[in-house]
Structure 1
Amino acid sequence: MNQPPLVGHTLRSHYHITRLLGSGGFGDTYLAQDLDLPGKPYCVVKHLKPKSNDPAVLPIAKGLFDREAQILYQLGNKSEQIPKLFAHFEENGEFYLVQEFVDGHDLTKEIIPGQIKPENVVCKLLKDILEVLAVVHQRNVIHRDIKPQNLMRRKSDGKIVLIDFGAVKEIGTLLINSQGQTSVSVAIGSPGYMPNEQANGRPRFASNVYAVGMMGIQALTGFLPHQLQEDPDTGELIWRDYAQVSDELGEVLDKMVRDHFSQRYQTASAALQAFMPIIELPTPVVATPPTIPPVPPNQSPTIPLSQLKVSSASPAVTIPSVEPVWRWGP
């Protein structure tokens, strides 16, 4: 088996690459050690490579790279729950980011298909996510790929860390047409967590609110986003009959995932404010389990509620295997 190209190399006589964490269409992510600091602590080195080798692409990629590095630097200094940017540099026409290593697990280890979470656990989780996202929105930044894989539970303190801010995707999707003009593909995000306006290349702060709401619904129902049906007349999600949820929380989540962005909470701060009264309420008692309406034949089969398992405790904190390449920690 061929060894990854940078393993064993030292960049800038500073960052010694120890192993590959992940690969994808946008480049490679490596675990490295900072040789200049006591104890040689770990960091993450991301090697970014535009798909096109055309020289016209490189200046655009460089501009995107510098802009993203500036955003990451500002956000990392603003919040301890956003990975810090240690360095960014270019060598031989290729770009590198050096960032804080997040020791922990992502939320796919907590929001698990087929398992439902109690309402109080879901409220606390969404509150923690929205608090971090509010900092991002206050800096006038829209995170374009909110999903469980991009939210880490840090091992040292159990706090949520938001990762993967997306310029690497812009660089990776740079295209050049027959007239030599450079452009960026518009749809950046993940199906199921990406609302219509974002899929059309026009993300808003409310697009992030939608994604967080979808995670809450996923945790309450045990269903993946694509397993949920939509009302054919309104386009709104049908999910409440699958969940044991209070009217208060149900109404907040309904507003978070409205089909049209104008009907959602417009920022993470606004959604967070709506959550606070619910968190202060006592845990609701549900007398009878909800009934599940039949699934139309053209829908993917869903998991019967009787087969879902309730898990109130978070799993043990471990470092999972890496899935997407552009993660701030393995």
Structure 2
Amino acid sequence: MSLITCSKGHQNPEGSRFCTLCGEPLPEHNAFAGGINTGLVEGTRLRDRYMIKYQLGQGGFGRTYLAEDTGRFNELIVLKELMPTGQGTYALQKAEELFQREAAILHKLRHPQIPKFWELFRDRKGLFLVQDYIEGKTYQDLLNNRLDNGQSFSEVEIIELLQQLLPVLSYLHKQGVIHRDISPDNVIRKEQDGLPILIDFGGVKQTAIDVATQLAAEKYGGSGTRLGKSGYAPDEQLRLGSVAPHSDLYALGVTAIVLMTGKPPQELFDAHTMSWVWNRQLNLSSDFNKILQRMLAQRPSERFQSAEEILQQLPAVSTVPETRVQPHLTQRQITSSNNNFIPPSPAPINTSGQGHLLDNSVEVPDEIVGWNWGAFLLPGFWCLTNRVWIGLLSWLDLSVVTLGIPTITISILLGLKGNEWAWKSRKWKSVKAFKRHQRFWAIAAFILWALFLIIIIGVILFAIAIAGFGM
């Protein structure tokens, strides 16, 4: 018996319409080819511009490929081959009509944490959507890696994730767009800067489903399939197709508890009492517990109605105690050392960007405390990229009236406290990234001052030479 694989790699029996693990609609016959579509092979060129490298995934809406855009210096992009679950030319016409409407919405979105949509085009009797490629791992992959080591995400990390994702949802909702498919699989931690990126907008998949719905209704009558990932989407979205900002916030809440417990939603929900039981697995701070309870409320009216509401109530990371969660042990760890295994320590907490300069409640890593040559030698420039704006005061004293005492004072102060203040004032990817940035400024400062001294010495020697000739 052949198996059908969803875009997340889950295998399902032949004939399945939805993935038994994640609820994703599974691919059926290709409406564009009139049979089973085996996918595009490496080297295939579309629209005389996009060169297929390999297939990234497959879902109910079609297939996703990594490709090179030869019209933009071979930049990597994502190509989505959209295949409505219908047959014939009429299905394609319906699909294109609805996809064009969806594409017009996606094209208006401009946010650094949303992949840019480029265009929609037809080629080889197919319909294709072009978006930016985001290099990084999904949070589901990151969670799986941690579970292999007996770990999961901490409360502090999840609060930071929400602080980074909620503004993105706020932007979307103000544009009248509902994501509709938030889950750990659809959030990527960008390799470059560590920011979470929202991918795989449900609107595209919903459009594919709408085509099948319209065709079925016109031919047979009846209602269509509703979009939503089982366990993540709220009940009203799965049953009625009703979505609103609080639908995304509900799915984000489920994502949070899955990342902290390391368990799928089905194991955190009691189907008999129709209530969440995740708090049996976690011991969270009181404030964050209340926020999650409200995000996951069964009645839509009891949930947060906007992302801004949650952002206003999120506790400060520095006030959150260590999360206690039932450890996740691998089979190898369970059977080793006569069951005396001690779970590994959680990953270090990134406290950067959590307070103002004089906020002593923010913990600064010991390895970055010390003298900062870049801040000392170039205070007026160093402060710009490190967001320690007190360094701008060094520009106010360029005269000889005060003999440069204020500038010298600022330089010494930043030399002593610059590292600590920069850590508090700006969000850093890691301690390593912070130290690399400060090392750059130190090298740049020494080079610039060396050049300056060489010029000064050269001018003095030149003046002496001129004076000697004059005598």
TM-score range, shorter chain: 0.7 to 0.9
**Change in 2 beyond 3 A, CA 1:229/1:18:** closer
Give the letter for the 2:192 counterpart. S
Match of 2:128 among 96, 109, 124: 96
**Change in 2 beyond 3 A, CA 1:140/1:184:** farther
Match of residue 258 from structure 1:
297
Q: Give the drift of 1:198.
A: 0.7
Match of residue 162 from structure 1:
198
Partner of 1:105: helix, strand, or coil?
strand
Q: Relative contact order: is structure 1 or structure 2 higher (C-alpha 8 Å, sep ≥ 6)?
A: 1
Match of residue 130 from structure 1:
166
1:12-50 alpha-carbon deviations (Å, 9 max, x no partner): 211111222223343221111111223x11111111122
Match of residue 209 from structure 1:
249
Match of residue 43 from structure 1:
77
1:54-113 alpha-carbon deviations (Å, 9 max, x no partner): 3332332112211221121111x2x01101112211235521111101111111133345
Match of residue 149 from structure 1:
185
Contact 1:64 1:167 in 2 (8 A): no
**Change in 2 beyond 3 A, CA 1:71/1:97:** same
Match of 1:9 among 44, 52, 75: 44
Match of 1:279 among 304, 307, 316: 316
1:161-192 alpha-carbon deviations (Å, 9 max, x no partner): 10111233234323223743799834212111
User: Is 1:221 paired with 2:255?
Assistant: no
**Change in 2 beyond 3 A, CA 1:188/1:178:** closer
User: Is 1:84 paired with 2:116?
Assistant: yes
- Identity, in percent, stands at 32
Listed as ranges, the gaps of 5+ residues in structure 2 are: 1-36, 327-340, 350-428, 430-471
> 1:148 & 1:26 partners in 2: Cα distance?
19
Listed as ranges, the gaps of 5+ residues in structure 1 are: 292-305, 317-330
Bigger CA radius of gyration: 2
More helix by share: 2
Contact 1:116 1:310 in 2 (8 A): no
User: Is 1:269 paired with 2:304?
Assistant: no
Partner of 2:129: helix, strand, or coil?
strand
> 1:178 & 1:231 partners in 2: Cα distance?
32
Partner of 1:116: helix, strand, or coil?
coil
Give the letter for the 2:143 counterpart. I
Give the letter for the 2:115 counterpart. P
Q: Give the drift of 1:273.
A: 2.1
1:111-147 alpha-carbon deviations (Å, 9 max, x no partner): 3456333221121112212121111111111111100
**Change in 2 beyond 3 A, CA 1:179/1:161:** closer
| 1:112-131 equivalent positions in 2, closer than 5 A | 112=144, 115-131=151-167
Q: Give the drift of 1:269.
A: 2.2
Partner of 1:250: helix, strand, or coil?
helix
> 1:254 & 1:62 partners in 2: Cα distance?
41
**Change in 2 beyond 3 A, CA 1:231/1:4:** closer
| 1:49-68 equivalent positions in 2, closer than 5 A | 49-68=83-102
Partner of 2:51: helix, strand, or coil?
strand
Contact 2:261 2:325 in 1 (8 A): no
More strand by share: 1
Q: Give the drift of 1:310.
A: 6.2
User: Is 1:246 paired with 2:280?
Assistant: no
> 1:18 & 1:246 partners in 2: Cα distance?
47
Q: Give the drift of 1:242.
A: 1.4
> 2:172 & 2:291 partners in 1: Cα distance?
21
Match of 1:70 among 94, 104, 107: 104
Q: TM-score, normalised by structure 1?
A: 0.79
> 2:223 & 2:342 partners in 1: Cα distance?
44
**Change in 2 beyond 3 A, CA 1:280/1:202:** same
Partner of 2:137: helix, strand, or coil?
strand
> 1:182 & 1:81 partners in 2: Cα distance?
40
Contact 2:182 2:255 in 1 (8 A): no
> 2:244 & 2:114 partners in 1: Cα distance?
20
Contact 1:241 1:290 in 2 (8 A): no
Partner of 1:43: helix, strand, or coil?
strand
> 1:56 & 1:308 partners in 2: Cα distance?
58
**Change in 2 beyond 3 A, CA 1:226/1:56:** same
> 1:117 & 1:107 partners in 2: Cα distance?
10
> 1:254 & 1:167 partners in 2: Cα distance?
27
Partner of 1:111: helix, strand, or coil?
helix
RMSD: 3.0
Contact 1:252 1:274 in 2 (8 A): yes
Report runs of 4+ in structure 1 exceeding 4 Å deviation. Answer: 181-184, 306-310
> 1:237 & 1:128 partners in 2: Cα distance?
25
Match of residue 30 from structure 2:
none
Q: TM-score, normalised by structure 2?
A: 0.57
> 1:231 & 1:138 partners in 2: Cα distance?
34
Q: Give the drift of 1:281.
A: 4.7
